[in-house]
Amino acid sequence: RMESLPEAVLIRILASIPAVDLVLACRLVCCQWKNLVDGAALWILKCQQEGLTGAESQESAENWQNFYFLSKKRKNLIKNPCGEEDLQHWGEVENGGDGWKIEELPGDFGKEFPSEEVHKYFVTSYEWCRKAQVIDLRAEGYWEELMDTTQPKVVIKDWYAGRSDAGCLYELCVKLLSENEDVLAEYRSETITIPQDNDANWTEISHTFSNYGPGVRFVRFEHGGQDTLFWKGWYGVRVTNSSVTVEP
């Protein structure tokens, strides 16, 4: 009989069951199973079995069930981050000058990207070009209680570069929004100036939102730039590999 098994054995048996079934079904079987599913030992074991733990996470994860689900769900919530689908999924597009263009790496007077998985980038023109995405966190599977109580980290990353023969400007602005799209937290970079005759290297910019309070339902990501020489064409800042992730 299952109830006669030592708790350590029962935990190992439960750890072989899919996580969703543990929460939605096994937890309802009896008080003992509920306590095991709600406890840390079962989820620590599942994390270890699936390679989701390290020394740092073992020290910091207060709720191992949330840690497990957040780790399994971790993905880039920005769609079309590298221009493989032209401007699809990017809204509120501002096409200053000759507008946005997608080019193949490394591009004229450019450098290869640090990751071989990235093949294209967006490039701006001689007046301000901006584009944005709004991410619906509930639609992506991040439930309200999780966002309000656990408040997992929301990690923002973007990459930018200039051409070595032209100067340019770059800006990033990310907002955490409520149900009614009120701004609950905001990160806005300075206007970054890349001089003419630069090295054309790609630079990563990042920000982590934490302890942002309850009510976050959307993330609005916006970036853009222009050249500083006002040359016709596409001599402005280049951007690619943008990402928004929700992490333990």
In a domain, 77, yes or no: no
Q: Which CATH number does the domain housing residue 34 bear? A: 1.20.1280.50
CB 105 within 8 A of CB 121: yes
- Residue 155, burial from CB neighbour count under 10 angstroms (0-12, 13-18, 19+): middle
Amino acid identity of residue 101, one-letter, is K
In a domain, 226, yes or no: yes
What's the pLDDT tens digit per position in 107-131? 999 999 999 999 999 999 999 999 9
In a domain, 98, yes or no: yes
Examine the domain organization and report whether 49 and 96 are in the same domain.
no
In a domain, 197, yes or no: yes
Q: What percent of the chain has pLDDT over 90?
A: 66
Q: Of 16, 37, 72, which marks where a domain is finished?
A: 72
The count of structural domains within the chain is 2
In a domain, 155, yes or no: yes
Count of other CB atoms within 10 angstroms of residue 38: 13
The pLDDT of residue 60 is above 70: no
Residue 18: what pLDDT? 86
- Work out the pLDDT band at 214, boundaries 50, 70, 90: very high
Examine the domain organization and report whether 66 and 120 are in the same domain.
no
CA–CA distances in Å: residue 80 to residues 16, 32, 107, 179, 199: 35, 46, 19, 25, 27
Residue 28: what pLDDT? 83
Examine the domain organization and report whether 103 and 154 are in the same domain.
yes
Average pLDDT along the chain: 91
In a domain, 80, yes or no: no
Distance from chain centroid for Cα 204: 14
Residue 55: what pLDDT? 46
The pLDDT of residue 205 is above 70: yes
In a domain, 107, yes or no: yes
Q: Of 17, 43, 72, which marks where a domain is finished?
A: 72
Residue 2: what pLDDT? 63
Q: How far apart are CA 237 and CA 162, in angstroms?
A: 5
What's the pLDDT tens digit per position in 61-75? 568 888 888 888 889
Domain that residue 24 falls in: 2-72
